Structure 1
Amino acid sequence: MYSHSKKIISSGIPLNEAKKAIIMLHGRGASADSIISLAGQLNVDDFAILAPQATNNSWYPYSFLAPVEQNQPALDSALQLIDDLVHEVQETGIPLHKIYFLGFSQGACLALEYTARHAAPYGGVIAFTGGLIGDQIRPENYTGDFVHTPVFISTGDPDPHVPVSRVEKSVEILEKLNAEVSLRVYSGRPHTIQFQELDLANKLILV
């Protein structure tokens, strides 16, 4: 088991000059550089872009559907890393409602888990193939109020890692916390990000 060292790849507007920021979370086996490469297809020209790098290229060791205890202490370390980064962004003068989150697969699960545990009026959340983490969803873990934060979740049906049933249950939790969730399920889509998903992220979140 491991904790995450702090390594943040940045792009876009320098953080101390930006008025908006997006935190991008890579998937298992990938890298900060790989997720940040999506920026060229997203409406983030005026954003500070921040992509943490997971130790050993994985945010937690087992499936997101494993008992939470099996993914500790890596999961808590990943959540803390994001929380620290959010506070650093705020300290530069960027408010929560100008902070956005994006993740793919394991990174999408982490983005949803973090924001649901700290529900607040963020700029928006983009989760390409992800759901809330754990063998069971524990509603008591999720507190706060999204105040109509827009959330876009997309997934394939079936997906080899993320069951649609968990995605749908996650949407229910997010909506109870007053998120405005848009869900797209693509029949037969491979475990990847398609152009139309990027296009919807732009239209629904990064407007």
Structure 2
Amino acid sequence: MHQNNIVYRGKKLEEAGKVLIMLHGRGASAEDILSLSSYFKLDNDFAIIAPQATNHTWYPYSFLAEPSQNEPFLSSSIDLLNGVVNDIVLKGIAKDKIYFLGFSQGACLTLEFVARNATRWGGAIAFTGGLIGDKLYPDKYKGDFAGTPIFIGTSDPDFHVPVQRVQDSTSLLTKLNANVKEIVYKDMGHTIIQEEIDWAKKWVLNNAQNV
């Protein structure tokens, strides 16, 4: 199961006004995803947190597998994030000052976590990802995003993430009252491009500068 192995950057939690939680992809590390933070030029009020998945993977199989096939690791990942968020809130930081960012498997986990816990988060950024399961299970998701900005960028095609799943995820998130900006890039490949970063800053993180 996942250990509480967290890497920190930016301001100390005790002194921060906002937090960005960054989730790495399969086979990567917390340090890998943290290196992306330099492209966002976050203000000095941000603490940046990156959990490290055990064996560098949040769950063993494709995010399109039946959920039971990815257990108990998927539930362990969700529990880990719940613990991280609870620790942040105990430090006096409200949920609408908490932001999420993930790539690939980390993007899927980002969307899955916020959808299962829909509330007014600061925002969420998913670089190539969708909600988890062989199909969508709407009963898993509850709450009200109250306009939380969410950016989802992906490629058409992408070897790991079908565009249809991205679009279906956007639809479900929107029904939970999220303010979703979805962009599908033709033949982008399984990567992150500068235009996605620019949109993520504009749609999600720039809002943080004025909160």
TM-score category of the 2 structures, normalised to the smaller one: over 0.9
Secondary structure, in 3 states, of the residue corresponding to 1:93? coil
> TM-score scaled by structure 1?
0.98
Shift of 1:43: 3.5
What are the residue-to-residue correspondences of 1:74-85 with 2, within 5 Å?
74-85=73-84
Provide structure 2 residue ranges, at least 5 long, that are not aligned to the other structure. Answer: 207-211
Q: Does 1:40 align with 2:41?
A: no
| 1:39-86 CA distance string (max 9 Å, x none) | 110142331000000000000000000000000000000000001000
For the residues of structure 2 that align with 1:152 and 1:55, how far apart are their CA atoms? 27
> How many angstroms does 1:189 deviate by?
0.5
- Counterpart code for 1:200: W
- Are 1:183 and 2:177 an aligned pair? no
What's 2:14 paired with? 16
SS in structure 2 opposite 1:134? coil
AA aligned opposite 1:23? I
Query: 1:43·1:206 contact (CA, 8 Å) conserved in 2?
Result: no
Residue 125 of structure 1 aligns to a residue whose secondary structure is strand
Unaligned runs of 5+ in 1: none
In structure 2, the partner of 1:201 is 200
Distance in structure 2 (CA, Å) of the matches to 1:22 and 1:87: 14
Aligned pairs for 1:68-79 (under 5 A) are 68-79=67-78
Kindly report which structure 2 residues correspond to 1:47-196, keeping only aligned pairs within 5 A, or say none: 47-196=46-195
Partner of 2:209: none
Q: For residue 165 of structure 1, what is the amino acid of its counterpart?
A: Q
Percent of aligned pairs sharing the same letter: 56
Distance in 2 of aligned mates of 1:100 and 1:109: 15
Amino acid at match of 1:188: D
The normalised TM-score by structure 2 is 0.96
Q: Secondary structure of 1:205's partner?
A: helix
Contact 1:43 1:202 (8 Å CA) reproduced: no
Give RMSD over aligned pairs: 0.6
SS at match of 1:153: strand
> How far apart in 1 are the matches of 2:53 and 2:42?
23
Q: 1 CA distance for matches of 2:76 and 2:93?
A: 24
Tell me, in whole angstroms, the C-alpha distance in 2 between the residues paired with 1:83 and 1:129.
Answer: 22
Alpha-carbon distance, 1:136 to partner: 1.1
Letter in 2 for 1:40: S
Deviates more, 1:35-44 or 1:128-137: 35-44
Distance (whole Å) between structure 2 residues aligned to residue 27 and residue 170 of structure 1: 19
1:88-131, CA deviations, whole angstroms, 9 ceiling, x for partnerless residues? 00001100000000000000000000000000000000000000
Equivalent residue letter for 1:44: L
SS at match of 2:205: coil
Q: Distance in 2 between matches of 1:5 and 1:84?
A: 11
Q: Distance in 2 between matches of 1:43 and 1:156?
A: 25
Alpha carbons 1:152, 1:181 under 8 Å: kept: yes
Q: Distance in 2 between matches of 1:73 and 1:134?
A: 14
